Amino acid sequence: MNGFIPLHKEAGMTSFDCVAAVRKLAHQKRVGHGGTLDPDVDGVLPICLGVATKLVDRLQTMPKTYTGEITLGFATDTEDLSGKEIDRQRLTVPFTALAIDQAMASFQGAYDQTPPLYSAVRVNGKHLYEYARAGETVTRPTRTVHVYHFDRTSAPVFNEETGEQTFSFTAQVAKGTYIRTLASDLGQRLGVPAVMSQLTRQASGGFQLAESVTLADLAAAPLTDFVRPIQAVFADMPIEDLTPAAWTRVQHGNYLRLTRPATDGNELFLRYGGDIQAIYRYETQTGTWRATQMLLHETTGKEAE
């Protein structure tokens, strides 16, 4: 089985839990996902089956959209509510909506972000969370991420008793951006500790939450009812149907000359026997199409070993 399933991951499950459940339902080992969601976060988790697992990197280049809640006034070691409180600064005067909006707008575009200590980022071959759990000190790498938009979506609510202020938000970001760190960094710009108090991923890999299905849905009907074909997910990618002679060349990794207009770097899917077999890229210098990625190698749909 090859293709994608837009899964609605429930809070309380890991992304791997979801993959393991789909493997059991699909009766196949080759199942992956298109971008980890923390256990406490719910929302869209693209599931990849068969040769679609080779396209995970392409899925992850698509923007991700989130909705959630940020609380000002305290911080945790995980930057969300699952962690231990490490800082608290009681607010005596709430921030104005304008002050919050201006601070949020300052993150739009590229900014340097240091991932949370409790994350899967690797340093010297180990995940950061492994250092955290062992109580070991490690320098976290700072990297440039991209925020397309980061906007407040509710009136800020101030709790005089706790000295906390909470509001809802929406954010669209590029690959590698940690939303809980974005919330924490917002607090720093405002001069107070902050935490991401709730998060839902609304869109990922081109899928929207409204079209996603639950594990219960998958268990109640044939899995094939929910699998999206590769070409449907990458609808903007043109498709070239191969002749038997061209398919023979593709099987050997050879270049192709196709009678279609193209500019340098253009890509397309090559289809044969009803299956997407490969992705080729056009080279202006040679006037040929060259292999970028091989997907299937038999017209029966058998996955490449």
As annotated, the active-site residues are 38
Sign of the alpha-carbon torsion through 138, 143, 148, 152: positive
CA distance 223 to 206: 20
* Residue 299 DSSP code: T
Among 287, 254, 205, which Cα is nearest to 7's? 205
With contact defined as beta carbons under 8 Å apart, do 101 and 140 qualify? no
Q: CA 276 to CA 1: how far, in whole Å? A: 13
Question: Phi-psi category of 87—alpha, beta or left, where left has phi over 0 and alpha has psi -120 to 50?
Answer: beta
Give the whole-angstrom CA distance, residue 197 versus residue 72. Answer: 10
Residue written as token pair 């909006």: 101
Of 118, 44, 42, 108, give the one whose Cα is nearest residue 77: 118
